[in-house]
């Protein structure tokens, strides 16, 4: 791996377009909802969020399946930091993958990770609605999938955590899980923990291919074979008869 690889500062066309739309949608919603109070935009905004809880009147369970794709393009209107942080992380990691995969593959990967993160959130909301049943918005699920991909594809590539701490790419996944879990345990329900973990998991499955039935079957077969080998022993034929 070329240690001089630039990650983040080199902008690429697709990433530039995504950042433009994320920022533009946020600013449009800010003006039309917060300032002009256009009711039709407020209504669309509510319907485009992901509402995983069955008790929510706008719940995805009422048939609004598009929420799995639309929620990731919306961000918190009460603070610009939500869209800014997501955009910053996207700018930091995504150009490397656009240069490696191309814009089409990267866009598909981000979309699948966002949808996977949303599905994971919906599933966990059925298990623990008090923790995971709140409406969700933001591109974090898709971006966490990208972080998972980076740790798997570039395990030796050095990066600077918070622009200060130098680590190898392989450590970014456990560090991200650890930080998110600590924040969730200290402030449960304060952010979309299930969506973050769902994005990481989806990214892992897409990169490794472990979601494919054939891959799962082969790994189970290999695990069973290894288990059988542990029970085998070498026998000296001079001392024992073998039937």
* pLDDT at residue number 243: 33
CA distance 126 to 118: 13
Tell the burial category of 175 from Cβ atoms under 10 Å away from its Cβ (0-12, 13-18, 19+).
middle
Q: Which residues pair with 165 in a beta bridge?
A: 161
- Give residue-wise pLDDT tens across range 190-225: 789 999 999 999 999 999 988 677 666 666 666 666
CA distances to 17, 115, 208, 213 from 222, in Å = 44, 31, 16, 14
pLDDT in tens, 52-64: 999 999 999 999 9
Is residue 173 within 8 Å of 151, Cβ to Cβ?
yes
Tokens of 232: 């085998």
Measured torsion, CA atoms of residues 191, 195, 198, 204, in degrees rounded to the nearest 10 = -80
Within the chain, how many helices (H) and strands (E) appear?
10, 2
Entry pTM: 0.84
Q: Residue 206: beta bridge partners?
A: none
Query: Percent of the chain beyond pLDDT 70?
Result: 83
Average pLDDT, rounded, for the chain? 87
What is the rounded average pLDDT of the residues 231-240?
Answer: 49
CATH classification number, 13-228, choose in 3.30.70.270, 1.20.1540.10, 3.40.50.2000, 3.50.50.60: 1.20.1540.10
Q: What is the pLDDT of residues 91-119, one digit of tens each?
A: 999 999 999 999 999 999 999 999 999 99
3-class SS of residue 50: strand
3-state secondary structure of 81: helix
């Amino acid at each position: 791996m070329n240690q001089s690889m630039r990650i983040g500062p080199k902008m690429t066309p697709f990433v530039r377009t995504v950042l433009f739309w994320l920022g533009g949608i946020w600013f449009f919603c800010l003006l039309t909802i917060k300032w002009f109070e256009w009711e039709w935009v407020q209504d669309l905004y509510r319907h485009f969020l992901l509402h995983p809880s069955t008790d929510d009147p706008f719940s995805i369970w009422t048939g609004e399946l598009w929420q799995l794709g639309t929620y990731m393009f919306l961000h918190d209107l009460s603070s610009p930091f939500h869209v800014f942080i997501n955009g910053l992380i996207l700018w930091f990691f995504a150009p490397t993958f656009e240069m490696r995969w191309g814009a089409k593959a990267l866009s598909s990967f981000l979309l699948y990770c966002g949808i996977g993160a949303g599905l994971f959130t919906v599933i966990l909301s059925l298990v623990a609605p008090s923790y995971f049943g709140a409406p969700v918005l933001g591109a974090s699920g898709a971006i966490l999938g990208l972080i998972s991909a980076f740790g798997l594809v570039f395990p030796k590539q050095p990066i600077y955590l918070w622009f200060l701490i130098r680590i190898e790419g392989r450590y970014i996944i456990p560090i991200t899980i650890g930080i998110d879990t600590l924040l969730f345990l200290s402030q449960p329900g304060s952010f979309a923990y299930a969506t973050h973990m769902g994005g990481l998991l989806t990214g892992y499955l897409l990169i490794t291919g472990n979601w494919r039935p054939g891959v799962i079957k082969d790994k189970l077969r290999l695990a069973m074979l290894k288990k059988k080998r542990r029970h085998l022993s070498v026998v000296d034929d001079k001392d024992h008869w073998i039937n």
